[in-house]
Amino acid sequence: MRTLKLAFILTLSLVMISCGGDKKKEEKEKVKIGTKKQSTSTSSDKEIDVKITGNDQMQFNVKVIRVKEGQEVTVTLQHVGKMAVNIMGHNFVLLKQGTDINTFGSEASAAKEADYIPNDGKDVIAHTKMIGGGDTTSVTFMAPAKGEYDFICSFPGHYALMQGKFIVE
Ligand code: CO
């Protein structure tokens, strides 16, 4: 069903592009896809683009990100707030399985000089840099093995609220 829907969306985009298209309409479609509570638009079996936001209320807009094994994943994080990086910094950190969020979170708090990625990144599959209000950053990596992973923001104190599941199917 999901594949069908995707195929439909892709076809729709193609039709719009080939018609020389109503650009606004196309963007509206994208926004619709992006506002689903799970993750976002995919371009092919080989790649997926995931867009998430963080705000000044210390929240990600997404609680679950779903990708497929073998996909090249690009996570783009946009900070939609206004506060500075040293006060309300956000990043996207995908933890290896078996990493305790609380332990990692407290170690991260003490790793300011390493952009809040402790232990030389040994507990981390991928992460973006830390950004402040108005900024956008992204990271591209290969989806890890099938399973469930945690993602967090590793700014001091944020992981309690800013965490979600990254599911590889
Ligand atoms: Co944060």
Q: What is the pLDDT of residues 70-122, one digit of tens each?
A: 999 999 999 999 999 999 999 999 999 999 999 999 999 999 999 999 999 99
Confirm whether 18 is domain-assigned: no
Please tell me the distance from the alpha carbon of residue 107 to that of residue 32, in angstroms, as a whole number: 38
Confirm whether 149 is domain-assigned: yes
Protein residues with C-beta less than 5 angstroms from the ion ligand 1:
90, 153, 155, 158
Three-point CA angle 148, 151, 157, nearest 5°: 140
**What CATH number does residue 49 fall under?**
2.60.40.420
Give the Å distance between the CA of 31 and the centre of ligand 1: 23
Confirm whether 9 is domain-assigned: no
Confirm whether 13 is domain-assigned: no
Residue that the structure tokens 């950053």 belong to: 137
Give the Å distance between the CA of 88 and the centre of ligand 1: 6
Residue 121's pLDDT is 97
Give the Å distances, CA to CA, from 147 to 26, 69, 139. Answer: 33, 9, 20
Confirm whether 2 is domain-assigned: no
Give the Å distance between the CA of 79 and the centre of ligand 1: 9
Give which of 76, 33, 80 is closest to 51, Cα–Cα. 76
Residue 38's pLDDT is 61
Give the Å distance between the CA of 50 and the centre of ligand 1: 18
pLDDT in tens, 144-166: 999 999 999 999 999 999 999 99
Residue 39's pLDDT is 58
pLDDT above 60: residue 12: no
Q: What is the SS3 assignment for 169?
A: coil
Q: Classify residue 117 as exposed, middle or buried by CB count within 10 Å of its CB (0-12, 13-18, 19+).
A: buried
Q: Give the chain's domain count.
A: 1
Give the Å distance between the CA of 48 and the centre of ligand 1: 23
Asked whether the beta carbons of 47 and 58 are under 8 A apart, the reply is: no
Which range marks the domain in which residue 50 is found? 37-168
- Pick the more confident residue, 11 or 124: 124
